[in-house]
Structure 1
Amino acid sequence: MALAPLLPAAAVAVGTLKVDAALPYVCTLPSGPQPATVRITAAFPERVAPGEEIRPADVTTTVELPAAAVADLTALKAATVRAESRLAVGVAQNEQRAEAAWSGTAQPVGVPDEGPLVLTTTGDVPSLTTDTAGRLALTAGGLAVDLAPSTADGAATTPASLSVTCVPGPDAEGRTVLATIPVGADTGTGQPSTPPTAPTVPAPSASSSGLPLPPFPTDRAAPGSPRTADGAGGRAPRGPRIGQQTKGGPAAADEDAPGTPAPRPAAPPCVTEKPTPLSLSAYITGYSNVRKLNGANVIPVSCVLIEQGEPQFDPRPDGSFHLLTPSTGNLSYQGRKQTPPFKATFLTFGFAPATATMVLEQTGPLTVDSDVLLAFPDNISETYVRARLVLRVLDVRVNGTRLDVGPSCRTEKSLTSPEPDPAKHPGDHLVLLGKGQLLNGTDATGYVLTGGGPLTGEVTIPAFKGCGAGGENLDRLLTASISGPGNYIKQIQGQTCAVGVEVPTEGQCTEDHQPYVVPKPER
């Protein structure tokens, strides 16, 4: 019963409002802006009472991209393409406004010989609630589509992903309202029967057991006003809210809560420029062995910006029940997808001290796939983090003498790990695994996405290319010194900050919505 709010709606209640809207959009492709058609289907209850949950059902987003998109993919020698979509949906009631993110995924489809390319994504979307009477309108907004093309042999293309941004076209003006749902009995004029308050901004979080939950409203009562466990008491009815706080989930921070968090250590900026209700951020740091040099170097405290996916309830044929949460992310340092520069010192060939300044540079998607096996009283969590990262060398000094490696010294391809599911995740990429145990009613142990913890893996460092200056080729020297398999990695992720929270959670976010917890590396 406690997991009921996480389950996708399996059926539509009697008295439904079905939506089927085909809207003209303009999508920005590598070849330039192109017209596209976006079809959105969903089902809603025809009418709800104040405080009653509105859960969209049977939501699909179909994007029909023109022939130019097929040409862009054909130029990459793509045979299939997998799509993920994020549709911004405006929620308005009376004078109040909020925004929801409808995320969806699609199975890989073949790239046609000629256009158009039709991609249909499906997924669970956040529920809506409002305590105020009046008509609630949902409006289609901007759409982002991430394409992951693959060649005929299943390998990733170069580049490994394409990001397509779409906005309603000029012809869509006045047509983007998807549904208008009456809330309460007296909705003829659209005026509220009780004084509305500003809509709260939702955020993803975790329950005390570490289970990922849908976004929930985080509002605070005025200092000194009464409040109850369910947020009632001393409050006027609230405007539209996205998501639902599940029983056992975290309550909003209280100004009068005893104790204060420890001072936050210095850390690089970690700012989400355009947060959504599902945005998270966190710091990560740790060690990586370099087996050939018989040593380890510290990966510095680095910022990761995460877009959490909607939880999906997955019953298996063996009778087990799983909760799956797919998420995506990016490293972030001074506007680039990379770690801060870091130095490592080793004894090359066993006697010559060498210091190198390096960065890990993200060259493709970073995904976070969480799988929680629900088995009372213990829930077992496995989270796989996959990332395409190259190691770039900026500066090398051997026994104090600078070795000019030039501006383009890097591994010839991504760092590579053993992949447990190569058919689903082809190509060269790093794989880290975090395992956690979630005891009902207690905090999680090990790793969960929202709480952090240790992530471990093994990586092969590829050969180097582009190293050297003035006609001197240092590729073989660096490859002989560093490259090779069997390099153990242990990274520690800190507690995430739910960036979409209007008032940051004490101990999790700073006042300017950056992660409060800065982890320390562990061997």
Structure 2
Amino acid sequence: MHWTPGRTAAGLAATVSIVGLAPGAAHGAADIKATLSYQCATASGLQKATVRISGNAPATGIPGKPLRIGPVTVTVTGGEGTTGLLERTTGGGQAGGIITLSVTAGQAGGDHVDAQWPPLLVTSADPAAVSATGQVPSVTTAAGGAVTWRVRDLVITPVGSGRPVKCTADKEGVLATVPVRGAAGAPPGTAGNPAASDRARRAATGPVRLVEDLPPCDPKPEWTWNPDPDLQMPDPPPGSTPNSETAYDPACGRLALTANILKADAATLTEGMASLHYSAGTWMHSDLNYLRIDNFGTVAVRPATATTLGFGFLPTAATSEIRQEGLANISGITSPPGSPGGPGPDRAIAKSKANLRVTEIKANGVTVPVGARCGTATPVNLTVHRDLGRQSIYDPGLYTGTATIPRFARCGVGEDISPLLTASVSGPGNTVEVNQSGLCFLGHNDGRPCVPGPIANTAWTVKPGGTITATATGVTIGDIDTTSMITCATSKITMDADLSHRQGRIAAITDFSFDGCTDLDGVPYEVSVLPYRDRRFSGTRYDPATGSALLNTKMRLRIKGADGCTADIGNGAAPPHERVQNLNAVYDNQTRTLHMLDFSNFVSMWVNSSSGCSGWQRQSAGTAGILIGLNILDYTETGIYTLDPEQTITGPTP
């Protein structure tokens, strides 16, 4: 676990430099230099920045052997008068936050793949420069041929509630090209046949893969659900039926863990491996379409060392690690689309306990003895959540939550330094993100090794971003079962896209309104979108062939007619269950329009409760439900919103 406290700074900074060390790389090293121009969306507006990338890379490589550049150091320079990069200047040249670079790697004739560079920790910032440092993954080729790293956009994200600064490259830049021996000459049987030669070169090049240097995956057959009272899930609805006889699947998944230490104003990063019993038990309630799938397992992460201003003033290098205590409980809770009555949006909850250990501290270059048992006095209780949308927990995705770091104990040799660590680190409000890869299943691989997929690619982009106003006319809300329909003259959505899209978050919804609404008889109706925590559009899937982005949002409506009819519309659940519904929306990059109805996969709403209504009644399972954006009389689409300013929304490709 990295500890890199710092504070934030204002101003776009001076240079971006990448220093590449190549452990194990033979035949010397070569200088890499590149200069890129960027446009950065800061709090004071769009500003120019120059990015210079320099450092070392191995001069040559060998097929099957890793090519490494890194650790990586990044420094950014803006134009004259640039402001708003990390919001607060700091004394001592320290800053808190991360810089995320979009980097790909590939060989000539082959596809470039996401190089999966993790966020880099900001280590210093002042009005003129912001720098970040961290390790990056190596790549390995299956055959000869030059490997090229290419860099595009970057995002600078401060610790806490500060707004990320998104910087868009004017053009893609080449970071480094390293020849891999074995590429010379045409493959056998292709001389004089350019087409055959090209096909053979592509086949010989093979994939570029990331080197796995993570703890092993080892699910134990004797594992069972952790009975710790602190790790139990929300109670299922009354009448739900358990099934603990489910045959589980042993599974493995890669993880990237990011934590923001509130008291230190710092970001921490590490990677690891999850070992799981997948689908080891279920709870079901068929009338409410409730399903809870229980899973459990362990997470092992790599220790890491980072440099900070420890104890408030000394340059300090701290090595720490997280050790899970017992098993973690993870549940996927679903309410399938197509039926009313679900208890809430599809989500996953993971609960665990872990001990935070400090193994080494160096203050101002001098080793500070910490002893063999230095760590938190009690385990850290951690609960993280994930919006599943149309996914399962075996798909890649991001979990988020907060944790309280307990006081430290047993630290120091001869002198107790536990109070100093407690004062510097311990306390509540520390945010945690766990980015999970797709799971692989040990029992489904025909005896072959189980290799988890890459860490979830959450590289969504919204350009130009900022404050967005979406407007539509003649939007309908129709109940197919009772043929009740309300038509609203206008509807407006106000969104804020100045947030990190790394988590698939597209834009926060600050206001959603319907005006001039009447039913089929001309009776005036008020239509209100009820408040809900963290209202936003999230990216679910992007199709580069059509330019369409499938989005997800949560909604609950209240309608109130002049005829005395009042209805609460959501997922059809009765109180006290959560009654918001998960809805699909589609953004069309070709027409620059937002569609509140996904014609490829209708997701309905249902009446949670109503009074004084001839229509708008609660329905039983299996009914068609209520659709926003579809005229139920002629089945034409009505929920088409025009965005101002126009946006381009892209996401990870399948």
Which is greater in Rg?
Answer: 2
TM-score by length of 2: 0.33
TM-score by length of 1: 0.40
